[in-house]
Structure formats: structure tokens, C-alpha cells
Structure 1
Amino acid sequence: MTSITDPNMSDRFASAMEEIHNKQLKTFGEIIEATTELCQSHKHFVKSALDTCLKKCKDDEMMFETIQTFKNDLQQKNASLKEKHQEISELVSEVQQKEMQKDDIIQKIHRLKEDQAKRKELIESQNKANKDKLRNLQKARLVFQEHLGMEIRTILSKNQQVKGEKLQFVFRNINPSDQDSAYIVTMGIKEDGSYQILSSDPALKCLPVLENRLQETNKLPAFLANVRKEFISRARR
């Protein structure tokens, strides 16, 4: 063991202490250098993380704006779709009304055709009845003209109830004292084909009764014969 009285002992101790101090300084420097590198690395990491976050925020903002734009477009499209749907509903309703009107028009046309057919049938029936009546008139005219001296005159009617022609039956050879004296009955044919007695000269009170009998029997010669009898009876009073 070295004696503490050794004069070189303090130098060696100081040298050892300095060597230890230098080692500690070196170690401390290495720690500071490592710490500085860590700080720089942390700064770079924080800056990179911050840039990434800022970029992410900008991207998110753009995405939110895009989503909002899509929402606005979707609302406009929904509103337009709703409007189109309303227009389509109105068009469908209009088409349905047109179809109903079409059906009504078709039914009216069918009814008009049926009415026209009935009217045509009625007209044909009336024409046939009128032809039959004209034939009866012709027969009556021949009978009365040849045997009883009766004259038939055709005159234009101005009566609103009896349009067209009306006939006057002029009877002679009624009054023995005046064979040429005229006794007249005037008649027409209604639109329905029935006879209508308008007047007689001289007036016969029983003329409505004779007219009703004519309507029932449709026998014009018998009617004229009865009228002639009434004129003869009146002339002999």
C-alpha cells in the first residue's frame, strides 16, 4: 500500500479525479448530444404530425363541403322529382278525365245513333202511314167525286199546328133547293200521321165526335160520308 506520505500521491489522485471528470463530461456531452438529436427528431415528428393534421383538416373540410353540395343537389333533385311527380299525377288525372269524357261522348254517340235509328224508323212508319192515308184520300176522292160530286182542294197551311198542305173537301148536291151550294170541311195531317179536322162551313157541332171516331178507326171515307150526312141533315132543317 502506498503511503499517504508519498509526495506523488496527490498528483496521482488529482490525475485520477480529472480522468473521472473528463469521462463524466464526455458521458454528459454524449447525453446532451443524444438529447439534442431526440429533440430535433421530436420537432421533426411534431412538425410532420402537425402538417399531416392540417392536411387532414383541409381534406375533411373539402369532404364536408362536397357532402353539403351533394346534400343540396339531392334536395334540389328531390324537389324537382316531387314537382315532376305532381305534374305526372295531374297529367294522369287529366287523362282519366279525358277517358271519362271519351266514354261519355261514346255513350252519347250510341244514344244519338239509337235515337236516330228510332227516329228513322218512326219517320218511315209515318211515311208509310201517310202513304196509306193518301191512298185512302185518293180512293175517297174517286168515290165522292164520281158518285157524290165532291171536290177536293189543296191549300197551303199557315197554321203552326198543321204545317205543309191541308185539304178542303167541298160537298155539293146537299141542299135540294140549291144543288151548287158548297159545304166545306177542312182537315190536315199532323207530324205523327194522325188526321186533324180544322173547320167546317157551315159549322157542325158534332165535328169533334166525328174527328175522334176518325182517329180511332182511321177510315176517312166513313168520316166523309158521316160529314155529308150531317150537312144534309143541317140543310133540311
Structure 2
Amino acid sequence: MESINDPNMSKGFTMEMEKIHNTQLKAFGEIVDQTTELCQSHREFVKSALDTCLKKCKDDEMLFDTIQTFKRDIVQTRASLKAKTHAVSERIFEIEQKEMQKEDIIPKIDKLKEEQVKRKELILSQHKANKVRLKNLQKARGVFQDHLGMEIRTISGKTQLVKGEKLQFVFRNIKPSDLNSAYIITLGINQDGSYQVVSSDPALECLPVLQSQLQKTNKLPTFLANVRKEFISLARC
């Protein structure tokens, strides 16, 4: 009891208690500081993790949108490619058809060229023949006009039978009672260069025979002489 009541003992105990209390306070303060630091560090870690997660989510969303865009582009590209492939196939088919037509047309063109050459040769031949006919006509004209009173006229055709220029032969000195009376025969030239009787005035029943002989012999003076004879025989009936 004396020791407890000893003032020195009580003072020492109190000091020891204060020392222990201060030590505990210091340790508690350190713990509080460490806890505060840990909390702050945890907050920063959580905030950083949250920011990272948010950024990752945004990146994932952008990536998803990009993937969807790529998918749409792929679908459009496939559709466009399919349409282009179909168009190319149709174009190839058209080219093949044109090649087949070309193979058919080339022989036709060659045939047309051959026919054109033949027509050209025929035209040249007809031209030469027409020159000969013209020369013969000029000779016959002098003979018939000077000695037999025949007139040769050039007229334009208006009938469907023979188109183009025609030659009209007017005979006079046929009828003894009327020497100026005109007996007329009109000739045309067919595409093949042969003569064709268009008309006669007055009409002669033997004209088809005379025309056939003319087309066979191509001798116009002989034909005109025979026509004149027929006109004379008709005038004397």
C-alpha cells in the first residue's frame, strides 16, 4: 500500500502510461496514414482501371462498328462483283454472238464484192455495147433519115414497163397518098442491155417476132428496115 501511495511510483506509472499512450497514438497515426495512403492508392488504381475499362469499351465499340462497316462493304462488294460478273458474262456472250455473225457476214461480203465486180464488168460491157449501138444508130440515122425520111427522137419514159430514156423512130414516106403521115415505133433498153419495143403507132401484130429477132441478133438497122416494111404493108391494106 505504501508503494502504491508513493508519489514517485505514481508519477512513474503515469509517465509510463503516457509513454505507452503516445507510442500507441504514434502507431495509430502511422496506421491511419498508411490506411489513407492505401485508400488514395486504391482510389487511383480503381480510377485508372475504370478509365482503362471505359477506353477499352469505347475501343471495342469502335472496333465493332468498324467490323460491321467492313461486313456491309463486303456484302456490297460481293453484290457489285456478282453484277459485274453477270455483265461480263453477257458481254462475252454478245461478243461470241457477234463473232458468229461476223463469220456469217464475211462470206456474204465476199459474195457481194464478187457480185459487185461482176456488175461492174457487166456495166462496162454494156457501156461498150451501148457505144457500138450508138455508133450504129448514128450510121442508121443518116441512111434512114436521108433516104427514107425517118426521124429519130429521144424521149423520157413515163410508163412502168420501161423507165429511162427511149428512142422514138418516126417513119414518113410510107403512105403514097400522104407522104408526111407519121408511123412511129418506140424502143427502150433493158437493164441487161437488150432492146425492148415499148409501143408502135399504128400497132403491128408481128412486133413480138421482130423484137425477138432484134434481141437475138442485136441488129437495129435490120429491125428498123423490117418495121418499115411492115408499116408499108399495113398502109397498102
Q: Give the structure-1-normalised TM-score.
A: 0.59
Task: Report the Cα offset of residue 214 of structure 1.
Answer: 1.9
- Measure the CA separation in 1 of the matches of 2:52 and 2:122: 96
Map residues 1-237 of structure 1 onto 2, 5 A cutoff: 8=3, 25=21, 28-29=24-25, 31-57=27-53, 59-60=55-56, 63=59, 123-145=123-145, 149-157=148-156, 159-160=158-159, 161-172=162-173, 174=174, 177-178=176-177, 180=179, 182-190=182-190, 193-237=193-237
Do the aligned residues in 2 keep the contact of 1:171 with 1:228 (CA within 8 Å)?
Answer: no
SS in 1 for 2:164: coil
Structure 1 residues 219 and 79 mapped into 2: Cα distance closer, same or farther (>3 Å)?
A: farther
Could you tell which deviates more after superposition, 127-136 or 22-31? Answer: 22-31
| SS of the residue 1:197 aligns to | strand
Query: Are the counterparts in 1 of residues 170 and 182 from structure 2 also a CA contact under 8 Å?
Result: no
Shift of 1:200: 1.8
* Unaligned ranges ≥5, structure 2: none
Deviations 1:76-120 (A, max 9, x none): 9889999x9999x89xx8xx99xx8xxx9xx9xxx7x96987776
- Gapped runs of 5+ residues in structure 1? 1-5
Match of 1:3 in 2: none
Tell me, in whole angstroms, the C-alpha distance in 2 between the residues paired with 1:219 and 1:30.
Answer: 156
Shift of 1:230: 2.5
Q: 1:80 to 1:26 in 2, by over 3 A?
A: same
Instruction: Return the offset for 1:41.
Output: 1.6
- Residues 9 and 163 (structure 1), Cα distance of their counterparts in 2 relative to 1, 3 Å cut: closer
Give 1:153's aligned amino acid. I
How far off is 1:48 after superposition?
A: 1.1
Q: CA deviation at 1:156?
A: 3.0
Cα distance in 1 between the residues matched to 2:5 and 2:212: 179
Separation of aligned partners in 2, 1:217 and 1:28: 157
Tell me if structure 2 keeps the 8 A contact 1:165–1:188. Answer: yes
CA shift, 1:49, in A, is 1.2
Q: Distance in 2 between matches of 1:38 and 1:168?
A: 145
SS of aligned partner of 1:200 = strand
Question: Using a 3 Å threshold, how does the CA distance of structure 1 residues 120 and 78 change in structure 2: closer, same or farther?
Answer: farther
Question: Aligned-residue CA RMSD in angstroms?
Answer: 5.2
Aligned residues: 212
Kept in 1: contact 2:185–2:199 (CA 8 A): yes
Q: TM-score, normalised by structure 2?
A: 0.59
Determine what percentage of the aligned residue pairs are the same residue: 35
Partners of 1:166 and 1:189 within 8 A in 2: no
